[in-house]
């Protein structure tokens, strides 16, 4: 079952990336990335929580959209990442918090139960913000072996 979930999530991430490139969308300047390690045996609980959170965000029309995927290489089993792109800190400040989204969608008692359940299934969580610096990297369209552009 876990392998099937990983394949489905990986396919979704690949498809959504292709759609973004096909539409000519520029990558977000920043990405907030939350890495979550599930306690051994609690992966299903954490995945269920993420599904309920996505449904709640859809129900309340949350401003932010995110990509969630399982990390299958280079990390311990049960590692998940949630990435949310944004272009300015003002955009980031306008987001609803997870407890607010859950409370608005399901009511306060159910939101608290879901938060507690996800907390008990989580071993470790790291929250980082990454910045896209195109001038310091290369792109797939650059010629192989060519130096990065100087600007």
Tell me: the pLDDT tens digits for 45-60?
999 998 999 899 999 9
Residues near 148 by beta carbon (within 8 Å), at least 6 away in sequence: 135, 136, 137, 138, 142
Helices (H), 23-150: 43-60, 89-93, 98-106, 108-121
Around 4, how many Cα atoms within 13 Å sit in the side-chain half-sphere?
2
Whole-Å CA distances, 26 to 22, 68, 85, 129: 11, 20, 11, 18
Of the two residues 4 and 97, the one the predictor is more confident about is 97
Q: Using the predicted structure, report yes or no on whether residue 150 has a pLDDT greater than 80.
A: no
pLDDT digits (tens, 9 = 90+) for 115-130: 999 999 999 999 999 9
Rounded to whole angstroms, how far apart are CA atoms 35 and 70?
10
Distance CA 71, CA 80 (A): 6
> What's the pLDDT score for residue 2?
52
């Amino acid at each position: 079952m876990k392998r099937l979930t990983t394949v489905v999530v990986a396919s979704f991430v690949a498809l959504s990336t292709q759609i973004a490139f096909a539409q000519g969308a520029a990558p977000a300047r920043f990405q907030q990335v939350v890495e979550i390690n599930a306690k051994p045996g609690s992966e299903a609980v954490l995945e269920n929580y993420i599904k309920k959170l996505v449904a709640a965000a859809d129900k309340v029309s949350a401003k932010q959209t995110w990509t969630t995927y399982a990390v299958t290489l280079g990390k311990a089993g049960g590692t998940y990442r949630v990435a949310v792109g944004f272009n300015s800190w003002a955009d980031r400040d306008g987001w609803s918090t997870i407890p607010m989204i859950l409370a608005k969608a399901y009511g306060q008692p159910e939101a608290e139960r879901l938060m507690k359940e996800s907390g008990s299934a989580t071993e470790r969580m790291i929250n980082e913000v990454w910045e896209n610096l195109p001038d310091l990297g290369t792109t797939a369209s650059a010629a192989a072996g060519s130096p990065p552009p100087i600007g």
